Amino acid sequence: MRTVSDRYLWLTMLLLGCYHGINPGMGWLFAVALGLQEKSAKAVIRAIAPITLGHVLSVVIVVVLTLAAAAWFSQTTVHRTAAGLLLIFGLYRLVRSRHPRWVGMRVGFWGLSLWGFLMASAHGAGLMLAPFVTAMPVNHHDGMTMSMPPAPPAPNYATGALFIAIHTLGYLVTMMVVALVVYWKLGVSFLRSAWINVDLVWAVALIAVGLIALFI
């Protein structure tokens, strides 16, 4: 049976996915722009899959590296390091928020995937998950004899994969809903009057998550 803290970790992965999906810089704004350019909702939907793939690849790289580090070093050390890096990255985003920019709007599946990867990496999407991934238990090997040093714990890649899957579900569903609502009901023109400083909000969120992660 899972503990309450375990359930909170799963819920956190889902909510972080939803939060990433809401951020226009993480994909839906680009998908809507492509849909308006082609005057087709299908173009919006087609753009979402490769953007999600790029996002997932960025997250997977960070999660795998984090799990591997947690298997060789103290889990507490890796957890605090991940939270510290998240705080540092959040502070960096406060003072510098330049995004990778794409030239032109005529891009194919792999071009959109690369764009999604760059956006997720630039926003620290995987880094935001890292402190929570290190909060889950690791698999320890049993030593063969008492005279042999214990083997390092095995990285819990199975649980990490489930974390990524839940995060991706929240991201994908949220981004698709937001993109289609904006395309059908609002259009990008509303951003001229309703736009907020998303980079500032994102930087504050990174810092807040880093601080929360220190107490997980």
Instruction: With cut-offs at 50, 70 and 90, classify the pLDDT of residue 143.
Output: very low
Share of the chain above pLDDT 90, in %: 18
Contact present, 50 and 200 (Cβ < 8 Å): no
Q: Which own/partner pairs from 190-194 qualify as long-range (CB within 8 Å, at least 24 positions apart)? A: 191/24, 191/29
Rounded to an integer, what distance in angstroms lies between the CA atom of residue 211 and that of residue 87?
7
Q: What is the mean pLDDT of residues 134-163?
A: 59
Helices (H), the chain: 4-22, 28-38, 41-72, 75-95, 109-122, 125-133, 157-181, 191-194, 198-214
Rounded to an integer, what distance in angstroms lies between the CA atom of residue 6 and that of residue 24?
30
Neighbours of 194 (CB within 10 A): 8
151 pLDDT more than 80: no
Each residue's pLDDT tens digit, 21-66: 988 778 888 888 888 888 888 989 999 999 999 999 999 999 888 8
Q: What are the sequence ranges of the domains in the chain?
A: 4-136+151-214
CA max distance for the chain: 70
